Amino acid sequence: MRLINRQADREVSMEELNQVLTQASNFVWSYIIVGLCLAGGIYTTLRLLFVQFRAVPHALALLRGKYEDTDSQDGITTFQALATALSGTTGIGTMAGVAIAIKLGGPGAIFWMWTMALLGMALKFVEATLGSMYRGDIGGRHEMGGGPMYYIVKGLGERWRPLAVFYAGCAAIACIGAWNMFQANQAAANLESAFNIPTWITGAVLSIFAALVLAGGIARIGKVAARLVPAMCIIYVTTVLGLCLWHIQQIPAVLIVIWEHAFDFQSAGGGVLGSAVLVGIRRAIFSNEAATGSAAIAHAAAHTSHPVRQGIAASLGPFIDTLMICAATAFVILLSGYYGNESYQNGSGTVLQLSEVELPENTSWHIGFSDMPDDNHPLQHFTSGGSALVYRPLDGQSQPSILELDLAPLLRAQHDSKDTGNAIRFSTVGSVPSTQAELIGPDGAVLANTLVEASPTWGSWIIVPEPQTWSRMITEPDSGKWQLRLSPSANREIWIDRVELVEDTNGIVLSSAAFAKFFGAFGNIFIPVAALFFAYTTILAGAYYGEVACHFLRESWVKPYLVLYIISAFLGCVLDLDLVINFSDLALGLMTIPNLIAMMVLTPLVARETRSYFAALKAGEFNGS
């Protein structure tokens, strides 16, 4: 009995710890990091005279190798450095993170992701420039390296070393969680869902291939990233571009939806900044890692004759990651209509057959067919085109009739299919009066409800009962009458269709559903395979970032850290990661703070170096090859 009690105490303690970490991570990643990154992005953009936009032509020339240094081979090329940095950002977040942003902040979150990406280009410029300015030989292998911990000490002075140590410690922890275990976990879960591949097999494969590349250091990581990352980006963006061209007539509607929701500050919970703003900026930072310092570590390894070159190349990172790849995912989700209540997915196909519903006599409710009003919304299509519940007032009727719809057939179908679900969805077509929709239990109690507000064209409505209620409904469908009660507030015509059981979806599952809608079986294959490669390159980049952090902290920690990192890739595939991810998210947020402080203090120095570089470029001192 004492052993059981101790085990229960440990479970409670772990749950409490997880809750504390969740609250701390959410606090750090809300107004603190979002506010600092927003302020820092505006400051660096203005202080550097919009360098992220002015330098785009030169950045493209650098990536083509036009100004590549030939007298120094102490690292990787500029293109390989950018590819390494992108491999750390174009992970699961490019597919799952965008879906999370749309789910939590609505379509308007995409606008703020783009806004933060443009500001993040300036932040990346500063940190990559500083990373190249303050670097040195690391690991005794004649490899150049650096990062925020190096420019904090060398740029600000030894008295700032505690801040640098704090950054390096947080970076080492965050790389194991956010860059490694989370990526591996999501890739393995997606492959298991799509192809029934056991998670341990994915974990073993990822660990082995990661170890093979990591043994070669940053040079091999850079070469692998330079091959995989561009290929993945081109395939992914080209696929979506083809889809957008195929549905070109709907693109204006997508942009309008993003714009209209961007300034709806009270949507999805609202807040001082509004959820669209807060979620969009946060997901952009998660996606392109601007201000986290990762770009400084990647670009510090590149051989270059001028640090500003690395800053210019790095500034393209947020543009490629967020304004291209993340935007591609967002367009697919919005074109599919899977946002808002449509993010709830009916995976089992369990739908109430309205043509078979038994309605009481002498009621204003009946079944309608071919005369269903058209649903002309360009993005969302709710009507089935088959049958609908129609309410038309009888002659002389003054009060609207209440409809109590028996859900037993729906619940039995769900029970027989053994699929998951957690909500009931129904749709209204055309202009309807406000209607109270309630879930009624066998004892007549109201278990959940929602208000159907007047809509000029269509509406999709969700009723989410408590988990215990849902479990009883599915496991005991014949224990009594489970009803959907519709109580109109006005006595005029109503059309209702598509009553179904659905499950709340988010992240990569939502992205997969959107791709599958357009690409069918190819979509179900494309997303898991793309996720695997995106996750793999992110794992490689994270290993190098963590290795450099360990070099700074203590040289003897490097090899044990890399062994732990490789093992963690396997563990990430087979374990429940809530505690690990919350801890690493907190570390990721905390490492951003010292980096932003150092960047803001050193930005005037970067501004002087930038002026000097462009003056020399204009004078023809750099000969393009």
The 10s digit of each residue's pLDDT in 221-253 is 666 666 766 777 778 778 888 888 888 888 888
The 10s digit of each residue's pLDDT in 121-157 is 999 999 999 998 998 777 666 677 889 999 999 999 9
Instruction: Tell me which of 173 and 347 has the higher pLDDT.
Output: 173
Place of tokens 């949507």: 267
The 10s digit of each residue's pLDDT in 477-503 is 777 788 888 888 877 778 887 888 888
Q: What is the mean pLDDT of residues 203-216?
A: 82
Of 359, 383, 357, nearest to 372 by C-alpha is 383
Give the whole-angstrom CA distance, residue 46 versus residue 43: 5
Instruction: Tell me which of 88 and 470 has the higher pLDDT.
Output: 470
Of 566, 542, 551, nearest to 215 by C-alpha is 566
Give the whole-angstrom CA distance, residue 511 versus residue 329: 7
The 10s digit of each residue's pLDDT in 26-77 is 788 777 888 888 899 999 999 999 998 998 888 888 777 666 654 445 556 6
Place of tokens 């300015």: 133
Average pLDDT for the chain: 80
CA distances for 14 relative to 2, 7, 18, 20, 578, angstroms: 18, 11, 6, 10, 10
- Secondary structure (H, E, C), 70-98: CCCCCCECHHHHHHHHHHHHCCHHHCHHH
- Per-position b or e across 461-478, b if 16+ CB within 10 A of its CB: bbbbbeeebbebbbeebe
Considering the chain, what percentage of its residues have pLDDT values greater than 90?
Answer: 13
Question: 391 by DSSP, 3-state: which?
Answer: strand
The 10s digit of each residue's pLDDT in 526-553 is 888 888 888 888 888 888 889 889 989 8
Give the whole-angstrom CA distance, residue 544 versus residue 139: 12
Could you tell me the two tokens for 201?
Answer: 């097999």
Could you tell me the two tokens for 238?
Answer: 């080209």
In the chain, what's the furthest Cα-to-Cα distance?
A: 93
Q: Check if the beta carbon of residue 138 is closer than 8 Å to that of residue 519.
A: no
Q: pTM here?
A: 0.82
The one-character DSSP state at 351 is B
Least confident piece of the model among 164-168, 522-526, 598-602: 522-526
Of 121, 151, 133, 150, nearest to 44 by C-alpha is 121
Backbone φ, ψ for residue 20 (5° rounding): -65, -45
Of 342, 277, 286, nearest to 318 by C-alpha is 286
